[in-house]
Amino acid sequence: MIRPSKPEDAKAVVPLIDIVFEEMEIPELMPLPKDVLYPVFEEAFLLPGYRYSYERTFVATVEDEVKGILVGYPHVDEANIDLPFEPLLKKLGVDNKKQLFTDQESYPGEWYLDTLAVAENAQGHGLGGQLIDTVAEIIKQRGETTMSLNVDQTNPRAQALYERHGFTKNGELMIGSHRYNHMVKAL
């Protein structure tokens, strides 16, 4: 079942978000133990408007257990999407003037798929594709016309998944220290 996330999903969602954090190798987060990192992001999950809030997250459940997530937002929200998190940075030992995400990731007119992650024990069963297709239909009904994402060029398996679900490469960009293919899908 795929549904919008709820505040009580925090403990199940944060480890899935962390899969992507680890792939991105965010310098400020890499050295932090999970027992420090997870509670802060669980708190952030409740913040209205935040990049990784429950309001921007869809979950895939199997037998009522969260096994996959898709987090996204319209491009117009990108400029301010991390502001709600700034007061929590000190809990991570990071200067609250520091931004964890400084690179532009989306472009005007796009609804940006920021994060797609599936629990290791649920991978290979089509859950990621189901999340993409279901959320694409939901945002299309809301009036969105283009879904976009960035896929690390060192992850051809993920790129193949996105291509199977209608995404095509339309550019490249750097996010942090990694080169990504920017991909779009007309809705």
How do the pLDDT tens digits run along the chain, 187 residues long? 999 999 999 999 999 998 887 876 666 777 788 998 999 999 999 999 999 999 999 999 999 999 999 999 999 999 999 889 888 888 888 765 656 666 789 999 999 999 999 999 999 999 999 999 999 999 999 999 999 999 999 999 999 999 999 999 999 998 878 899 999 999 9
Beta partners for residue 179, in sequence order: 174
pLDDT at 132: 98
Residue pair 134/4 in contact by the 8 Å Cβ criterion: no
pLDDT at 52: 96
Cα–Cα distances in angstroms (integers) from residue 187 to residues 4, 85, 183, in the given order: 19, 31, 13
pLDDT at 177: 81
- Rounded-to-integer distance, Cα 25 and Cα 35, Å: 18
Q: In what order do the strands lie in the sheet with 111-118?
A: 2-4, 57-62, 65-74, 111-118, 146-152, 178-186, 168-175
Residue pair 24/56 in contact by the 8 Å Cβ criterion: no
pLDDT at 144: 98
Residue pair 85/47 in contact by the 8 Å Cβ criterion: yes
What are the tokens at 62?
Answer: 């199997």
Q: Where are the domains of the chain?
A: 2-186
Residue whose C-alpha is closest to residue 142's, from 56, 17, 48? 56
Name the burial class of residue 154, with classes exposed (0-12), middle (13-18) and buried (19+) by CB atoms within 10 angstroms of its CB: exposed
pLDDT at 111: 98
CATH topology of domain 2-186: Aminopeptidase (3.40.630)
- Rounded-to-integer distance, Cα 95 and Cα 86, Å: 9
pLDDT at 12: 97
pLDDT at 134: 98
